[in-house]
Amino acid sequence: MAIRFIVAGFILSLLSACGSEPLDGAALAQEKGCVACHGAQGKALVASYPNLNGQWERYLRLQLRAYRDGPRVNAIMNGMAAELTDQEINALAAHYGRES
Ligand code: HEC
């Protein structure tokens, strides 16, 4: 009987740990298709796409919000950013960028 409570408690603590865990930016970049143009580490695949590696994290975050919310206009990136949540933008910027 007690074992059931222990197992249930363990599962609950796992679930709450997942909820508070920051998103994995590297996995998100794969999942969202960013890697197809910007590469897994931010080195772009062709010269017409910008490198993201080494850029400030804060700058990347602001650009992604600007693409999503409208101020920065680009046919590709407005579409790519349209559905991103703030949390996803933070994780992607943290993955590709570096701390200021
Ligand atoms: C089809 C290719 C393509 C894909 C896929 C793509 N991008 Fe881009 N990205 C571009 C291009 C082209 C630009 C330059 C747009 C411009 O001139 O504003 C750009 C610009 C950016 C910038 C601004 C860079 C700067 O120096 O100002 C960021 C940040 C960025 N992309 C992040 C992402 C993220 C994160 C994803 C995935 C959600 C993504 N991109 C998916 C092609 C792509």
Domain extents in the chain: 25-96
Assign 21 a pLDDT band (cuts: 50, 70, 90): confident
Distance 21 CA to ligand 1 centre (A): 26
Average pLDDT on 27-41 reads 98
Assign 57 a pLDDT band (cuts: 50, 70, 90): very high
Share of the chain above pLDDT 90, in %: 76
Q: Considering the entire predicted model, what is its pTM?
A: 0.86
Ranges assigned E (strand) in 15-96: none
Return the structure tokens found at 81: 């950013």
Residue 6 has pLDDT above 80, yes or no: no
Buried b / exposed e across 22-53, counting CB within 10 Å, b at 16+?
Answer: ebebbebbeeeebeebbbeebeeeeeeeeebe
Residues with CB under 6 A from ligand 1: 32-34, 36-38, 49-50, 52, 60, 63-64, 74, 76-77, 80, 92
Fold classified for 25-96: Cytochrome Bc1 Complex; Chain D, domain 2 (1.10.760)
Distance 15 CA to ligand 1 centre (A): 33
Average pLDDT on 7-29 reads 72
Closest Cα to atom 36, ligand 1: which residue? 34
Distance 26 CA to ligand 1 centre (A): 15
Average pLDDT on 32-61 reads 98
Average pLDDT on 29-36 reads 98
